[in-house]
């Protein structure tokens, strides 16, 4: 499925997750965040960088892993990405939805 973000045509799946991570950049990220009613801050970017590092190393993502990361505490994570923080954070990060998310 195609979607236009930042004046570019992007491939996404039925849930809106990018199909090809190579299409992701900060501009695309901010457009997706805007669709989620999230204004990116430095803390959001720290979380996104952490998620990218985990994805690059093919390490599974989970709320528990985020909690233990030292990047952010769990309460702040929920505040930054309200309504399903791991789902929204991975959506914005341009990586596939974690298997731990329903």
Band (34; pLDDT cuts 50, 70, 90)? very high
The tokens describing 52, both together, are 């990218």
Catalytic residue among 29, 31, 36, 101: 101
Q: What percent of the chain has pLDDT over 70?
A: 98
Q: Which helix (H) or strand (E) holds 9?
A: strand 8-11
pTM: 0.91
36 is catalytic: no
- The percent helix, strand, coil of the chain (3-state, each to 5) is 50, 10, 40
- Comparing CA positions, the residue from 47, 60, 44, 48 lying closest to residue 21 is 48
pLDDT at 99: 77
pLDDT digits (tens, 9 = 90+) for 66-101: 889 889 999 999 999 998 999 999 999 999 988 777
pLDDT digits (tens, 9 = 90+) for 44-59: 999 999 999 999 999 9
Q: What is the mean pLDDT of residues 34-47?
A: 96
- Cβ atoms of 54 and 21 closer than 8 Å: no
Q: Residues near 39 by Cβ (< 8 Å), separated by ≥ 6?
A: 33
Say whether pLDDT at 14 is over 80. Answer: yes
DSSP 97: P
């Amino acid at each position: 499925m195609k979607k236009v973000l930042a004046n570019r045509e992007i491939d996404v799946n039925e849930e809106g997750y990018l199909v090809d991570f190579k299409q992701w950049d900060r501009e695309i990220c901010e457009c997706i965040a805007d669709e989620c009613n999230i204004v990116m801050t430095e803390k959001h970017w720290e979380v996104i960088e952490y998620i990218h590092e985990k994805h690059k190393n093919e390490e599974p993502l989970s709320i528990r892993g985020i909690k233990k990361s030292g990047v952010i505490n769990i309460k702040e994570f929920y505040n930054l990405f309200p309504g399903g923080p791991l789902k929204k954070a991975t959506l914005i990060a341009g990586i596939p939805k974690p298997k731990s998310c329903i």
